[in-house]
């Protein structure tokens, strides 16, 4: 563990660490915000999963989440979006390879050696956080776009592990849209039936835990119709009675301006569940 950044923020500390990941097989960076309450006792943790092309830096610099986390006493943990470094497989295009881990565990060569983001986020990262900082085992998870997909899928696949989940502009049906189909074919293989294990719409129909889903979607998002398609998630949840609060926001796009506008509401949503 190597701390490579530290910044005072709203009475707490915004740090960035580099840790040696067994799941990913390479060192990886993660942003950790410790609110002032962490100096006096253990705090719940909100995990944030970023989208395509991002690293840990996008969220910690642009979302404005530290202010809200300090108010509610939440630790924020923002991992990178993929493994990086020498020997890590990559490909042409922003939507596959480095920066595009999609929060799945790849089973196809050459991706399977390092692209095990689900294992890393669900098991290895919380074990490190809870063993290193003043963190308890009350966990929430959120994310944006590819990371919104990751948050929904991880919460639905791991009942009892998270007390809350939310997403901004998530890819809700990756097996049905170009971004997901491209990556799933590469990482998971040609068996489309197996892709349902990583698809929020499919998982909502089989989930054994009815954890409420909070989703915000901008109606001026340039990817709304081609890649995101939130109505698919509404239909899947209505068909099975899975609780969903889908908020469609006129005028908002896919950017961090959108995320920052409603981050306070999302942090409050998680704080209510995690307390």
Q: What is the pLDDT along the chain (275 residues), one digit of tens a residue?
A: 999 999 999 999 999 999 999 999 999 999 999 999 999 999 999 999 999 999 999 999 999 999 999 999 999 999 999 999 999 999 999 999 999 999 999 999 999 999 999 999 999 999 999 999 999 999 999 999 999 999 999 999 999 999 999 999 999 999 999 999 999 999 999 999 999 999 999 999 899 999 999 999 999 999 999 999 999 999 999 999 999 999 999 999 999 999 999 999 999 999 999 99
Report d(CA 254, CA 272) in Å as an integer: 26
Which of the residues 50, 142, 145, 164 is marked catalytic? 145
Q: How many residues does the chain have?
A: 275
| The two three-digit tokens of residue 144, written as one number | 């944006």
Backbone angles phi, psi at 5, to 5 degrees: -145, 150
Catalytic residue chosen out of the listed positions 15, 199, 216, 221: 221
211 with 165: CB under 8 angstroms? Answer: yes
Q: What is the CATH number of the domain that holds 164?
A: 3.40.50.1820
Residue with the two structure tokens 């301006």: 257
Burial class (CB in 10 A: 0-12, 13-18, 19+), 10: middle
Instruction: Tell which residue, 61, 68, 80, has the closest CA to residue 18.
Output: 80
Catalytic residue among 254, 266, 269, 270: 254
In the chain, the number of structural domains is 1
145 is catalytic: yes
Domain span holding position 7:
2-274
Among 221, 117, 122, 215, CA closest to 170:
215
């Amino acid at each position: 563990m190597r701390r490579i950044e530290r910044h005072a923020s709203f009475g707490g500390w915004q740090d960035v660490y580099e840790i040696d990941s067994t799941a990913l097989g390479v060192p990886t960076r993660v942003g950790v915000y410790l609110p002032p309450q962490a100096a006096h006792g253990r705090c719940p943790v909100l995990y944030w999963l970023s989208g395509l092309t991002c690293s840990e830096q996008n969220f910690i610099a642009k979302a404005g989440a530290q202010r809200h986390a300090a108010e509610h006493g939440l630790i924020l943990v923002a991992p990178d979006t993929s493994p990086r470094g020498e020997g890590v497989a990559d490909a042409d295009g922003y939507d596959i390879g480095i920066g595009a881990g999609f929060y799945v565990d790849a089973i196809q060569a050459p991706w399977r050696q390092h692209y095990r983001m689900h294992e890393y986020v669900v098991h290895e990262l919380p074990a490190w956080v809870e063993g290193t900082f003043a963190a308890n085992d009350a966990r929430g998870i959120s994310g944006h776009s590819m990371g919104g997909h990751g948050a929904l899928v991880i919460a639905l696949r791991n009942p009892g592990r998270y007390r809350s989940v939310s997403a901004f502009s998530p890819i809700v049906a990756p097996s049905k849209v170009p971004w997901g189909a491209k990556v799933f074919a590469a990482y998971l293989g040609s068996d489309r039936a197996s892709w349902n294990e990583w698809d929020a719409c499919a998982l909502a129909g089989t989930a054994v835990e009815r954890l409420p889903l909070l989703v915000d979607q901008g109606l001026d998002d340039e990817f709304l119709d081609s890649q995101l398609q939130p109505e698919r998630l509404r239909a899947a949840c209505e068909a099975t009675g899975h609780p969903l609060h889908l908020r469609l926001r006129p005028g908002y796009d896919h950017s961090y301006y959108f995320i920052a506008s409603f981050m306070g509401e999302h942090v409050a949503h998680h704080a209510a569940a995690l307390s």
